[in-house]
């Protein structure tokens, strides 16, 4: 212990001296920079002096404290983000916010009605198009996939699409729809979002169908029910809540997506219900307003951000509650 | 009977004509997933061809970005993508590991679900919200407190000092990396938690039985048993970080430059696309952006494919 302490003291003095000399322009900074190294040396000195048992216990306590701290940090960040959103966004959420369209730059007041409408419509269309595709594809994987060599490939590709960058989907839809139609449109925006819905729904549908006990299917088959009818009236019914959860999670996923809309639906300052033309939507409006120097626009951006976040988190929580409703789904 | 139980794809006793139609329909939509992927790749490649013809492989190593002269290179964007994701992993992985450790080993049972849900809600918050929060709350805080301190101390250390030089701007690769770390945290933590939970209780109990501490059980039993899955989870997070767009666009600074210092502005592939695609009307400009998108897609595809393969191997080993 004494020898270690002596070495540590010597190293401390040497490092401090080196730090102060080497950092000519700010000696204090040099000293501060040397601190981590000095701390490490002292840690070594104290650590080495402990008995093996004490050292193991100490390691355990240190690591578990760090683990506790990491969890606290995660929860703290969530609380900070939500707190800042409420702090900055709540004041923007007045009646005008829901009743008026986006204002011109430099004007006062205004709201997000056109953007809220656009987001709702495009999310709705994307969900209506994407969910059936996802449910049927998921049905194939769960009910017909066994022994089919293509099923693992589809599962693999689907999982990759699930995490693939959404801006790539925007590029793709730009190429196949916007260029072909000659203009940006809400249809293109909906199509981009629909592509993002599919993998989420496929994944949850397959998982949920796999949770349905086989004895249910067997009982139906034993009665002479055709397979399609077994799936539609027995399996789907048993897995209904889980599948609905998947659709809700998909809605939550696309409701805040910005990147795929940037060059498909773009934005529209005015009220528009024409699906064949540019359409305002909350994420892109938030993006443009937040990055502008206009204080009124920034205020609206915070309000929009709060609205989007609250909606999505509520959907997430509702989906979770729904999923844990029945015992077999978890 | 036993055969039917084992093989769900066995024909039902009285198979009707509609059965075939239904099966074909599900097959069609399943195949559609492959078609979508193929279509994405083909459309990116086709749109990128003019840029590939013009710049060749030099596109990857050129730092030029001049829309006026129509001279483009991907190096700053690729560098920015990699460095921000690297920072995100450096910060995010240990924290995610800590959270997974807390949830599986330390947390009282009744608190597991709530804590797990709170962490997963971080994954539900959309990218744009992280962006607006990062720009208006985190970056100014970082600029006025942490960055000056880092520049004064770390910036003076020989060798690594160049990484932390320059004026404190608040926005830059480091800020972007930290925001990304928060964003990938829930993905990595939830995969880690799931794979940690697959470790048989008997294994852990045997270690506890011979007097191992919680940390020793974690480090010597749980981690080696689940290594494949843990790496899979990290790769999944990396895939997310590489392709993340809006949050990074807000806080990276959007400058086509390569700075040694991580505190200075840069750009990433996705941020470049988000910022410039709408205004890129010229053919070469647009094609170069498509080529950037193709590069991003290839990188993330490879990373995610590795992640999925590892996680699949883990799943098979766990026998689920």
pLDDT per residue over B90-100, tens digit each?
Answer: 999 999 999 99
d(CA A135, CA A156): 17
Q: Is residue B275 within 8 Å of residue B92, measured between CB atoms?
A: no
Of residues A96 and A76, the one with the higher pLDDT is A76
**CB-based contact A168 B293, cutoff 8 Å:** yes
| Segment (H or E) for B147 | helix B147-153
CB-CB neighbors (< 8 A) of B31 in chain A:
150, 154
Residue B238 has what pLDDT?
95
> How far is B58 from chain A, CA to nearest CA, in Å?
23
* B 215-234: CB under 8 A from A: 215-216, 218
Residue B180 has what pLDDT?
95
| Segment (H or E) for A202 | helix A186-211
Instruction: Specify which residues B66 forms β-bridges with.
Output: B71
Lowest mean pLDDT among A34-48, A224-238, A297-311, B198-212: A34-48
Instruction: Specify which residues B65 forms β-bridges with.
Output: B72
Residue A109 has what pLDDT?
83
Interface test with B, best of A25, A60, A70 (most B CBs within 10 A): A70
Residue B242 has what pLDDT?
94
**CB-based contact B103 A30, cutoff 8 Å:** no
Lowest mean pLDDT among A77-91, A195-209, B28-42, B150-164: B150-164
- Helix, strand or coil, per DSSP, at residue A175: helix
> In this complex, is the C-beta atom of A178 within 8 Å of any C-beta atom belonging to chain B?
no
Looking at residues B183-206, what average pLDDT do you find? 92
Q: Residue B222: pLDDT band by 50, 70, 90 thresholds?
A: very high
**CB-based contact B14 A151, cutoff 8 Å:** no
Structure tokens at A41: 């040396």
Looking at residues B227-234, what average pLDDT do you find? 92
Residue A137 has what pLDDT?
96
d(CA A258, CA B276): 15
Residue B77 has what pLDDT?
92
pLDDT over 60 at B59, yes or no: yes
Q: Residue A27: pLDDT band by 50, 70, 90 thresholds?
A: low
Q: How far is CA B256 from CA B63, B68, B275, in A?
A: 8, 14, 12
Residue B12 has what pLDDT?
45
Looking at residues A90-101, what average pLDDT do you find? 87
Q: How many helices (H) and strands (E) would you count in chain B?
A: 15, 2
Q: Residue A14: pLDDT band by 50, 70, 90 thresholds?
A: confident
**CB-based contact A71 B98, cutoff 8 Å:** yes
Contacting residues for A163 by C-beta, under 8 A, at least 6 apart:
B236, B239, B240, B243, B300, B304
ipTM attached to this prediction: 0.87
Other beta carbons less than 10 A from residue A253's beta carbon: 23
Looking at residues A99-103, what average pLDDT do you find? 87
**CB-based contact A266 B278, cutoff 8 Å:** yes
> In this complex, is the C-beta atom of A64 within 8 Å of any C-beta atom belonging to chain B?
yes
Q: Residue B316: pLDDT band by 50, 70, 90 thresholds?
A: confident
**CB-based contact B245 A163, cutoff 8 Å:** no
Lowest mean pLDDT among A166-175, B7-16, B121-130: B7-16
Looking at residues B184-206, what average pLDDT do you find? 92
Residue B299 has what pLDDT?
94
CB-CB neighbors (< 8 A) of A317 in chain B:
117, 121
d(CA B116, CA B184): 15
Q: Is residue B75 within 8 Å of residue B62, measured between CB atoms?
A: yes
pLDDT over 60 at B45, yes or no: yes
Residue A141 has what pLDDT?
94
Radius of gyration of chain B (CA): 24
> In this complex, is the C-beta atom of A195 within 8 Å of any C-beta atom belonging to chain B?
yes
pLDDT in tens, B153-180: 777 776 777 778 778 888 889 999 999 9
**CB-based contact B126 A283, cutoff 8 Å:** yes
**CB-based contact A259 B270, cutoff 8 Å:** yes
> In this complex, is the C-beta atom of B131 within 8 Å of any C-beta atom belonging to chain A?
yes
Q: How far is CA B40 from CA A11, A53, A60, A175, B45, in A?
A: 60, 58, 49, 9, 9
CB-CB neighbors (< 8 A) of A156 in chain B:
305, 308, 312
**Single pTM value for the model:** 0.89
pLDDT over 80 at B181, yes or no: yes
Residue B4 has what pLDDT?
47
Q: CA nearest A194 in B: which residue?
A: B36
Q: Is residue B155 within 8 Å of residue B164, measured between CB atoms?
A: yes
Residue B13 has what pLDDT?
47
Of residues A324 and A326, the one with the higher pLDDT is A324
**CB-based contact B132 A146, cutoff 8 Å:** no
**CB-based contact A258 B246, cutoff 8 Å:** yes
CB-CB neighbors (< 8 A) of B101 in chain A:
63-64, 67, 70
d(CA A303, CA A85): 8
Instruction: Specify which residues B258 forms β-bridges with.
Output: none
**CB-based contact A164 B31, cutoff 8 Å:** no
**CB-based contact B122 A77, cutoff 8 Å:** yes
Q: How far is CA A268 from CA A105, A109, A318, B35, B135, in A?
A: 13, 17, 31, 32, 24
Looking at residues B269-295, what average pLDDT do you find? 89
Q: Residue B1: pLDDT band by 50, 70, 90 thresholds?
A: very low
Phi, psi of B23 (to 5 degrees): -60, -40
> In this complex, is the C-beta atom of A38 within 8 Å of any C-beta atom belonging to chain B?
no
Looking at residues A41-49, what average pLDDT do you find? 81
> In this complex, is the C-beta atom of B253 within 8 Å of any C-beta atom belonging to chain A?
no
> How far is B269 from chain A, CA to nearest CA, in Å?
10
Cα-to-chain-centroid distance, residue B53 = 30
Looking at residues B223-237, what average pLDDT do you find? 92
Lowest mean pLDDT among A2-11, B184-193, B207-216: A2-11
CB-CB neighbors (< 8 A) of A221 in chain B:
4, 12-13
> In this complex, is the C-beta atom of A207 within 8 Å of any C-beta atom belonging to chain B?
no
CB-CB neighbors (< 8 A) of B190 in chain A:
none
Highest mean pLDDT among A15-19, A30-34, A322-326, B201-205: B201-205
> In this complex, is the C-beta atom of B137 within 8 Å of any C-beta atom belonging to chain A?
yes
CB-CB neighbors (< 8 A) of A305 in chain B:
128-129, 132-133
pLDDT over 70 at A25, yes or no: no
CB-CB neighbors (< 8 A) of B277 in chain A:
171, 174, 262-263
Structure tokens at A229: 């009818």
Q: How many residues does chain B have?
A: 320
**CB-based contact A75 B308, cutoff 8 Å:** no
Mean pLDDT of chain A, nearest integer: 88
Mean pLDDT of chain B, nearest integer: 88
Residue B303 has what pLDDT?
95
Looking at residues B119-124, what average pLDDT do you find? 91
List alpha helices for A23-111, DSSP H: 27-49, 52-89, 95-99
């Amino acid at each position: 212990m004494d020898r270690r302490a002596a070495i540590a003291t010597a190293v401390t003095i040497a490092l401090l001296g080196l730090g102060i000399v080497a950092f000519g322009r700010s000696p204090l900074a040099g000293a501060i920079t040397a601190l981590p190294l000095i701390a490490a040396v002292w840690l070594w000195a104290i650590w080495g002096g402990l008995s093996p048992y004490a050292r193991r216990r100490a390691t355990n306590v240190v690591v578990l404290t760090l683990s506790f701290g990491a969890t606290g940090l995660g929860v703290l960040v969530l609380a900070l983000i939500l707190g800042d959103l409420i702090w900055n966004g709540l004041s923007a959420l007045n009646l005008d916010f829901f009743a008026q369209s986006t204002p011109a730059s430099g004007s006062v007041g205004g709201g997000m009605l056109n953007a809220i409408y656009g987001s709702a419509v495009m999310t709705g269309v994307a969900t209506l198009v994407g969910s059936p595709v996802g449910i049927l594809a998921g049905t194939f994987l769960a009910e017909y996939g066994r022994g089919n060599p293509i099923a693992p490939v589809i599962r693999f590709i689907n999982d990759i699409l699930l995490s693939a960058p959404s801006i790539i989907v925007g590029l793709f839809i730009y190429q196949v729809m916007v260029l072909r139609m000659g203009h940006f449109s809400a249809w293109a925006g909906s199509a981009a979002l629909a592509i993002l819905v599919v993998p989420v729904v496929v994944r949850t549908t397959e998982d949920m169908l796999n949770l349905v006990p086989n004895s249910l299917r067997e009982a139906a088959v034993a009665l002479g029910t055709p397979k399609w009818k077994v799936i539609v009236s027995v399996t789907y019914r048993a897995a209904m809540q889980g599948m609905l959860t998947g659709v809700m999670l998909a809605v939550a996923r696309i409701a805040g997506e910005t990147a795929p809309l940037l060059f498909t639906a773009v934005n529209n300052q005015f009220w528009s219900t024409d699906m064949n033309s540019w359409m305002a939507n909350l994420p892109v409006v938030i993006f443009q307003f937040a990055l502008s120097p206009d204080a009124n626009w920034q205020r609206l951006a915070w309000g929009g951000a709060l609205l989007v976040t609250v909606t999505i988190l509520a959907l997430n929580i509702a989906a979770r509650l729904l999923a844990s409703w029945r015992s077999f789904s978890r | 009977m036993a055969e039917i139980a084992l093989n769900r794809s066995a024909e039902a006793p009285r198979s009707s004509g509609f059965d075939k139609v239904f099966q074909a329909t599900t097959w069609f939509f399943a195949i559609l997933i492959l078609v979508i992927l193929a279509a994405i790749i083909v459309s990116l490649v086709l749109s990128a061809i003019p840029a590939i013809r013009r710049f060749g492989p030099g596109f990857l190593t050129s730092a030029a970005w001049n829309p006026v002269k129509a001279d483009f290179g991907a190096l700053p964007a690729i560098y920015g993508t990699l460095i921000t994701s690297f920072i995100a992993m450096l910060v995010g992985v240990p924290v995610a590991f800590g959270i997974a450790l807390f949830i599986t080993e330390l947390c009282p049972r009744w608190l597991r679900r709530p804590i797990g849900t709170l962490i997963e809600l971080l994954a539900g918050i959309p990218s744009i919200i992280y962006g607006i929060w990062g720009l208006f709350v985190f970056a100014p805080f970082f600029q006025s407190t942490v960055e000056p301190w880092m520049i004064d101390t770390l910036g003076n250390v020989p060798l690594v000092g160049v990484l932390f030089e320059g004026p404190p701007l608040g926005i830059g690769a480091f800020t972007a990396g930290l925001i990304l770390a928060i964003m990938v945290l829930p993905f990595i933590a939830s995969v880690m938690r799931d794979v940690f939970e697959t470790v048989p209780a008997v294994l852990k109990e045997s270690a506890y039985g011979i007097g191992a501490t919680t940390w020793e059980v974690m480090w010597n039993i749980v981690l080696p048993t689940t290594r494949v899955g843990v790496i899979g989870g990290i790769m999944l997070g990396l895939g997310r970080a590489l392709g993340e767009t809006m949050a990074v666009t807000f806080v990276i600074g959007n400058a086509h430059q390569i700075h040694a210092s991580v505190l200075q502005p840069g750009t990433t592939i996705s941020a470049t696309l988000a910022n410039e695609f709408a205004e890129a009307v010229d053919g070469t400009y647009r094609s170069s952006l498509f080529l950037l998108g193709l590069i991003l897609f290839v990188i993330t595809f490879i990373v995610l494919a590795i992640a999925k393969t590892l996680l699949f191997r883990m799943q098979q080993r766990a026998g689920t």
